Amino acid sequence: MRSRRLATVLVAPGTAYLILVFVSIVALLFSYSARSERTAALVAPVDWATWQNVLTDAYTWQVLTTTVLLGLVVSVLTVLVAYPLAWCVHTMRRPWQATTMLFVIFSPILVSVVVRTYGWAMLLRENGPFGSLFDGWLYHQPGVIVALVHVELPFAVFPILAAIRSVPPELGRAAADLGAGPLRRFLRVQLPLTMPGVLSGIQLVFALTISAFATPALLGGGRVTVLAQTIYQSIQQLQWPTAAAQAVLLLILALLVLTLFTGLARLVSGGRAAR
């Protein structure tokens, strides 16, 4: 059919890039990971020892678990904060209020990550402005989570906002007319219809979180170690095979979770989200 052909033509350039670049990278990483020799040359004898080491290393699994859990916690928290916030912005009557709020939400990504974490370190300190309110957050998991939610908030708010705006207001009214209270209207009509935005937000946030390096490194105090840090170390140590294997592992897990999100979203929205 015609639309099929058009679809192919439209997806082609992006996919071509993705294949040329991303697939090359994955192939490269895979080739690196399947060698024991520490060389960055394109070809080297195949050896699965590295995979064996990585897969049997308890520490790697522990870090991987931390990474994925951190990704899940941060993405869920971010969406939980972002959804109501997006709704609040959507219902703002005066354009200048909305514009201001949009800018505020955007502002964290304008600030370099090192400086931003410095700000958080200042805030969460024991003798900081909030006193002992955040005792034990800094250089522990909660501090890392808070700072990540902070910077990734815009990546969730904006897709959700765009989705909320595209829902015909009449549908919410129809639901109200049929006796659905605010909660039901939200769960059964608003949420499913805005699921594409939520999905987009949660996917972006998750992907960004599990690849984050600086924030966990600076605010984790060595207690929160994510795979990006381990990979960074391996590269500094010239252990290309280990770094590559870990990266491939992370990528596979990421793909798994990202697709899982799609499935979940489809479940919530009754089959529409993926469209």
Chain residues 141-200 in contact with other proteins, contact rule CB under 8 A = 147, 150, 153-155, 158-159, 161-163, 165-171, 173-182, 184-185, 188-189, 192-193, 196-197, 199-200
Within residues 211-240, the interface with other proteins by CB under 8 A covers 211, 213, 217-218, 220-223, 225, 227-228, 231-233, 235-240
Q: In the 8-state DSSP scheme, what is residue 137?
A: T
DSSP at 212: -
How far, in Å, are 167, 173, 215 from residue 170 at the CA level?
Answer: 8, 5, 43
In the complex with other proteins, which residue's Cβ is closer, 48 or 112?
A: 112
Q: Does the protein bind other proteins through residue 45 (CB under 8 A)?
A: no
Number of CB atoms found within 10 A of residue 165's CB: 12
74 scored as a contact of other proteins (CB under 8 A): no
Residue 270 Cα distances to 165, 172, 187, 196, 273, angstroms: 20, 17, 12, 12, 8
Binding mask 95-134 for other proteins (x = CB under 8 A): x--xx-xxxxxxxxxxxxxxxx-xxxxxx-xxx-------
Quote the least distance from Cβ 267 to other proteins, whole Å. Answer: 12
Nearer to other proteins, 20 or 48 (CB): 20
Closest CA to 259 of 206, 212, 209: 206
Please report whether residue 56 would count as binding other proteins according to CB under 8 A: no
Helix (H, G, I), strand (E, B) or coil at 28: helix
And the tokens for 142?
Answer: 């909660």
To 5 degrees, how large is the angle CA 63–CA 66–CA 67?
Answer: 85
- Tell me how many residues contact other proteins (CB under 8 A): 146
| Distance in Å, CB of 188 to other proteins, minimum | 7
Residues 255-274 touching other proteins, rule: CB under 8 A, are 255, 258-259, 261-263, 266, 269-274
The sign of the CA dihedral 33, 38, 43, 47 is negative
30 part of the interface to other proteins, by CB under 8 A: no
Residue 247 interacts with other proteins (CB under 8 A): yes or no? yes
Q: Please, what is the minimum distance in Å from the beta carbon of residue 212 to other proteins?
A: 8
Q: Which of 204, 241, 245, 249 binds other proteins (CB under 8 A)?
A: 204
Extract long-range pairs of 163-171: CB within 8 Å, 24+ residues apart.
163/193, 163/194, 163/195, 163/196, 163/197, 163/198, 163/200, 164/86, 164/87, 164/90, 164/190, 164/194, 164/197, 165/90, 167/193, 167/194
Q: Pick between residue 51 and residue 203 the one whose CB is nearest to other proteins.
A: 203
Give me the least distance between CB of 4 and other proteins, in Å please.
7
Site for other proteins in 78-97 (CB under 8 A): 81, 84-85, 88, 90-91, 93, 95
